[in-house]
Chains A and B, each alone.
Chain A
Protein backbone atom coordinates (compact mmCIF):
# COMPACT_ATOMS: atom_id res chain seq x y z
CA UNK A 1 0.00 0.00 0.00
CA UNK A 2 1.24 3.50 -0.79
CA UNK A 3 0.98 6.31 1.84
CA UNK A 4 -2.32 7.53 0.34
CA UNK A 5 -3.89 4.08 0.59
CA UNK A 6 -2.53 3.57 4.11
CA UNK A 7 -3.94 6.93 5.23
CA UNK A 8 -7.29 6.24 3.59
CA UNK A 9 -7.40 2.89 5.36
CA UNK A 10 -6.67 4.67 8.67
CA UNK A 11 -9.53 7.09 7.99
CA UNK A 12 -11.91 4.25 7.12
CA UNK A 13 -10.79 2.26 10.16
CA UNK A 14 -11.53 5.33 12.25
CA UNK A 15 -14.92 6.23 10.76
CA UNK A 16 -16.55 2.80 10.52
CA UNK A 17 -16.32 1.76 14.20
CA UNK A 18 -17.29 5.28 15.27
CA UNK A 19 -20.32 5.10 12.93
CA UNK A 20 -19.36 8.29 11.10
CA UNK A 21 -20.44 8.41 7.48
CA UNK A 22 -18.06 10.28 5.22
CA UNK A 23 -17.07 10.97 1.63
CA UNK A 24 -13.71 11.59 -0.01
CA UNK A 25 -13.72 14.91 -1.86
CA UNK A 26 -11.00 17.21 -3.26
CA UNK A 27 -7.89 16.21 -5.20
CA UNK A 28 -8.08 12.52 -4.41
CA UNK A 29 -11.68 12.33 -5.64
CA UNK A 30 -10.49 14.00 -8.86
CA UNK A 31 -7.80 11.33 -9.25
CA UNK A 32 -10.42 8.63 -8.60
CA UNK A 33 -12.55 10.15 -11.39
CA UNK A 34 -9.59 9.79 -13.80
CA UNK A 35 -8.40 13.39 -13.74
CA UNK A 36 -4.60 13.64 -13.82
CA UNK A 37 -3.72 15.78 -10.88
CA UNK A 38 -1.27 15.95 -8.00
CA UNK A 39 -2.34 16.35 -4.41
CA UNK A 40 -0.52 16.52 -1.09
CA UNK A 41 -3.42 15.90 1.20
CA UNK A 42 -6.73 14.12 1.66
CA UNK A 43 -10.03 16.00 1.93
CA UNK A 44 -12.83 14.32 3.82
CA UNK A 45 -16.34 15.52 4.57
CA UNK A 46 -17.98 13.97 7.62
CA UNK A 47 -21.70 13.54 8.21
CA UNK A 48 -22.12 15.23 11.57
CA UNK A 49 -24.36 17.76 13.32
CA UNK A 50 -23.54 20.93 15.22
CA UNK A 51 -24.47 19.12 18.44
CA UNK A 52 -21.90 16.35 18.13
CA UNK A 53 -19.02 18.41 16.70
CA UNK A 54 -17.14 18.47 19.98
CA UNK A 55 -17.34 14.73 20.57
CA UNK A 56 -16.38 13.94 16.95
CA UNK A 57 -13.42 16.34 17.05
CA UNK A 58 -12.23 14.67 20.29
CA UNK A 59 -12.44 11.29 18.57
CA UNK A 60 -10.49 12.62 15.57
CA UNK A 61 -7.66 14.08 17.63
CA UNK A 62 -7.38 10.88 19.67
CA UNK A 63 -6.46 9.12 16.42
CA UNK A 64 -4.78 11.86 14.32
CA UNK A 65 -2.40 14.68 15.26
CA UNK A 66 -3.99 18.14 14.94
CA UNK A 67 -1.99 20.87 13.21
CA UNK A 68 -3.29 23.62 15.49
CA UNK A 69 -2.85 23.78 19.25
CA UNK A 70 -6.56 24.58 19.72
CA UNK A 71 -8.20 22.06 17.36
CA UNK A 72 -11.63 21.76 18.99
CA UNK A 73 -12.47 25.51 19.11
CA UNK A 74 -11.03 25.82 15.58
CA UNK A 75 -13.29 23.04 14.31
CA UNK A 76 -16.31 24.52 16.08
CA UNK A 77 -15.65 27.95 14.61
CA UNK A 78 -14.50 27.09 11.09
CA UNK A 79 -15.92 23.58 10.53
CA UNK A 80 -12.63 22.25 9.25
CA UNK A 81 -10.04 20.25 11.19
CA UNK A 82 -6.58 19.80 9.65
CA UNK A 83 -4.63 16.85 11.06
CA UNK A 84 -1.67 14.62 10.30
CA UNK A 85 -1.71 10.85 10.16
CA UNK A 86 1.48 10.24 12.11
CA UNK A 87 1.94 6.77 10.65
CA UNK A 88 2.16 8.05 7.08
CA UNK A 89 2.91 11.77 7.75
CA UNK A 90 0.04 12.61 5.42
CA UNK A 91 -2.17 15.63 5.91
CA UNK A 92 -5.95 15.19 6.19
CA UNK A 93 -8.50 18.01 6.20
CA UNK A 94 -11.72 16.87 7.88
CA UNK A 95 -14.68 19.11 7.05
CA UNK A 96 -17.92 19.07 8.96
CA UNK A 97 -20.60 18.13 6.46
CA UNK A 98 -23.26 20.32 8.01
CA UNK A 99 -25.10 21.81 5.05
CA UNK A 100 -27.92 20.16 3.16
CA UNK A 101 -25.65 19.76 0.15
CA UNK A 102 -22.81 18.20 2.19
CA UNK A 103 -25.22 15.64 3.64
CA UNK A 104 -26.50 14.86 0.14
CA UNK A 105 -22.89 14.40 -1.11
CA UNK A 106 -22.16 11.86 1.62
CA UNK A 107 -25.44 10.00 1.08
CA UNK A 108 -24.85 9.87 -2.70
CA UNK A 109 -21.25 8.65 -2.40
CA UNK A 110 -20.71 4.98 -3.18
CA UNK A 111 -17.96 2.68 -2.06
CA UNK A 112 -15.71 2.02 -5.03
CA UNK A 113 -12.48 0.14 -5.50
CA UNK A 114 -9.35 2.25 -5.05
CA UNK A 115 -6.16 0.21 -5.05
CA UNK A 116 -6.79 -2.58 -2.59
CA UNK A 117 -9.55 -0.70 -0.76
CA UNK A 118 -13.26 0.05 -1.18
CA UNK A 119 -13.86 3.68 -0.32
CA UNK A 120 -16.71 6.22 -0.45
CA UNK A 121 -15.83 8.75 -3.16
CA UNK A 122 -18.14 11.63 -3.96
CA UNK A 123 -19.78 11.51 -7.37
CA UNK A 124 -18.35 13.47 -10.28
CA UNK A 125 -21.42 15.78 -10.27
CA UNK A 126 -20.94 16.64 -6.59
CA UNK A 127 -17.25 17.22 -7.17
CA UNK A 128 -18.16 19.65 -9.97
CA UNK A 129 -20.44 21.53 -7.57
CA UNK A 130 -17.69 21.79 -4.93
CA UNK A 131 -15.29 23.07 -7.60
CA UNK A 132 -17.81 25.61 -8.89
CA UNK A 133 -18.39 26.75 -5.33
CA UNK A 134 -14.69 27.18 -4.45
CA UNK A 135 -14.02 28.87 -7.82
CA UNK A 136 -10.27 29.45 -7.34
CA UNK A 137 -7.95 29.40 -10.37
CA UNK A 138 -7.00 25.83 -9.56
CA UNK A 139 -10.69 24.82 -9.41
CA UNK A 140 -11.32 26.37 -12.81
CA UNK A 141 -8.40 24.38 -14.25
CA UNK A 142 -9.82 21.22 -12.65
CA UNK A 143 -13.26 21.94 -14.15
CA UNK A 144 -11.70 22.25 -17.58
CA UNK A 145 -10.09 18.81 -17.16
CA UNK A 146 -13.32 17.28 -15.82
CA UNK A 147 -15.21 18.63 -18.84
CA UNK A 148 -12.75 16.95 -21.23
CA UNK A 149 -13.49 13.51 -19.80
CA UNK A 150 -16.98 13.64 -18.29
CA UNK A 151 -18.89 16.28 -20.25
CA UNK A 152 -21.08 13.76 -22.14
CA UNK A 153 -21.95 11.50 -19.24
CA UNK A 154 -23.07 13.84 -16.49
CA UNK A 155 -26.39 13.74 -14.63
CA UNK A 156 -27.52 17.14 -15.90
CA UNK A 157 -30.91 17.05 -14.20
CA UNK A 158 -29.21 16.66 -10.82
CA UNK A 159 -26.64 19.36 -11.59
CA UNK A 160 -29.30 21.86 -12.69
CA UNK A 161 -31.33 21.21 -9.55
CA UNK A 162 -28.35 21.66 -7.21
CA UNK A 163 -27.04 24.75 -8.99
CA UNK A 164 -30.48 26.34 -8.79
CA UNK A 165 -30.38 25.77 -5.03
CA UNK A 166 -26.98 27.50 -4.85
CA UNK A 167 -28.31 30.48 -6.81
CA UNK A 168 -30.52 31.13 -3.75
CA UNK A 169 -27.25 31.68 -1.84
CA UNK A 170 -26.42 34.50 -4.28
CA UNK A 171 -24.06 32.25 -6.21
CA UNK A 172 -25.30 32.77 -9.75
CA UNK A 173 -21.66 32.70 -10.88
CA UNK A 174 -21.76 28.94 -10.34
CA UNK A 175 -24.39 28.53 -13.05
CA UNK A 176 -22.52 30.75 -15.51
CA UNK A 177 -19.22 28.92 -14.89
CA UNK A 178 -21.00 25.59 -15.28
CA UNK A 179 -22.43 26.72 -18.60
CA UNK A 180 -18.99 27.88 -19.76
CA UNK A 181 -17.37 24.53 -19.08
CA UNK A 182 -20.09 21.98 -19.64
CA UNK A 183 -22.60 23.26 -22.22
Chain B
Protein backbone atom coordinates (compact mmCIF):
# COMPACT_ATOMS: atom_id res chain seq x y z
CA UNK B 1 0.00 0.00 0.00
CA UNK B 2 1.41 3.42 -0.94
CA UNK B 3 1.62 6.47 1.31
CA UNK B 4 -0.83 8.23 -1.01
CA UNK B 5 -3.41 5.47 -0.53
CA UNK B 6 -2.93 5.59 3.24
CA UNK B 7 -3.44 9.37 3.36
CA UNK B 8 -6.55 9.06 1.19
CA UNK B 9 -8.08 6.34 3.37
CA UNK B 10 -7.30 8.27 6.55
CA UNK B 11 -8.91 11.44 5.18
CA UNK B 12 -12.04 9.40 4.41
CA UNK B 13 -11.93 8.01 7.95
CA UNK B 14 -11.83 11.48 9.50
CA UNK B 15 -14.63 12.55 7.16
CA UNK B 16 -16.75 9.60 8.31
CA UNK B 17 -16.07 10.37 11.94
CA UNK B 18 -17.14 13.99 11.54
CA UNK B 19 -20.36 13.16 9.66
CA UNK B 20 -21.44 10.36 11.99
CA UNK B 21 -20.88 12.40 15.10
CA UNK B 22 -23.96 14.52 14.59
CA UNK B 23 -26.24 11.55 13.92
CA UNK B 24 -27.68 8.90 16.16
CA UNK B 25 -27.29 5.44 14.67
CA UNK B 26 -30.26 3.02 14.45
CA UNK B 27 -28.50 0.83 16.97
CA UNK B 28 -28.20 3.66 19.52
CA UNK B 29 -31.76 4.81 18.87
CA UNK B 30 -33.04 1.28 19.55
CA UNK B 31 -30.86 1.06 22.63
CA UNK B 32 -32.38 4.34 23.85
CA UNK B 33 -35.94 3.20 23.10
CA UNK B 34 -35.17 -0.06 24.89
CA UNK B 35 -34.13 1.87 27.98
CA UNK B 36 -37.38 3.89 27.80
CA UNK B 37 -39.32 0.63 27.64
CA UNK B 38 -37.49 -0.64 30.74
CA UNK B 39 -38.21 2.58 32.61
CA UNK B 40 -41.92 2.40 31.78
CA UNK B 41 -42.14 -1.27 32.74
CA UNK B 42 -40.41 -0.55 36.03
CA UNK B 43 -42.50 2.48 36.95
CA UNK B 44 -45.86 1.18 35.69
CA UNK B 45 -48.19 4.17 35.40
CA UNK B 46 -46.29 6.57 37.65
CA UNK B 47 -45.95 9.35 35.09
CA UNK B 48 -43.81 11.62 37.25
CA UNK B 49 -41.09 9.04 37.91
CA UNK B 50 -41.10 8.01 34.24
CA UNK B 51 -40.65 11.67 33.25
CA UNK B 52 -37.82 12.10 35.76
CA UNK B 53 -35.90 9.06 34.55
CA UNK B 54 -36.38 9.93 30.86
CA UNK B 55 -35.10 13.45 31.56
CA UNK B 56 -32.00 12.01 33.24
CA UNK B 57 -31.35 9.74 30.23
CA UNK B 58 -31.86 12.67 27.85
CA UNK B 59 -29.35 14.71 29.85
CA UNK B 60 -26.77 11.93 29.54
CA UNK B 61 -27.46 11.72 25.80
CA UNK B 62 -27.05 15.50 25.43
CA UNK B 63 -23.69 15.33 27.20
CA UNK B 64 -22.58 12.46 24.96
CA UNK B 65 -23.53 14.36 21.82
CA UNK B 66 -21.60 17.40 23.08
CA UNK B 67 -18.64 15.18 23.85
CA UNK B 68 -18.63 13.56 20.42
CA UNK B 69 -19.05 16.87 18.56
CA UNK B 70 -15.81 18.46 17.44
The contact of A169 among B4, B10, B13, B16, by CB within 8 Å, is B4
Chain B interface size, under 10 / 10 to 19 / 20 to 34 / 35 or more? 20 to 34
User: B3 touching A100 by the CB < 8 A rule?
Assistant: yes
Asked if A77 meets B9 with Cβ closer than 8 Å, knowing A67-B68, A84-B67, A93-B17, the reply is yes
Contact B7 A169 (CB under 8 A): yes
Whether the pair A69, B9 counts as a contact (CB closer than 8 A) is no
> Are the CB atoms of B13 and A77 closer together than 8 Å?
yes
Size of A's binding interface in residues, CB under 8 A: 24
With beta carbons under 8 angstroms apart, the residue of B7, B13, B20, B67 that contacts A133 is B7
Q: How many angstroms from the CA of A170 to the CA of B14 in the assembled complex?
A: 21
Contact of A78 among B10, B68, B70 (CB under 8 A): B10
- A95-115 interface (Cβ within 8 A of B): 95-96, 98-101
Contact of A69 among B3, B10, B27, B63 (CB under 8 A): B27
| B interface footprint on A47-75 (CB within 8 Å = 1, 0 otherwise) | 00010000000000000000111000010
| Chain A neighbourhood of B16, CB < 8 A | 78
B13→A79 contact, CB < 8 A: yes
Q: 22 A-B Cβ contacts within 8 A?
A: A40-B69, A50-B1, A67-B68, A78-B9, A78-B12, A78-B13, A79-B9, A79-B10, A79-B13, A80-B13, A80-B14, A82-B17, A93-B14, A93-B17, A95-B10, A96-B6, A98-B1, A98-B3, A98-B6, A99-B3, A99-B6, A100-B3
Residues on B lying within 8 angstroms of A by beta carbon are 1, 3-4, 6-7, 9-10, 12-14, 16-17, 20, 25, 27, 63, 67-70
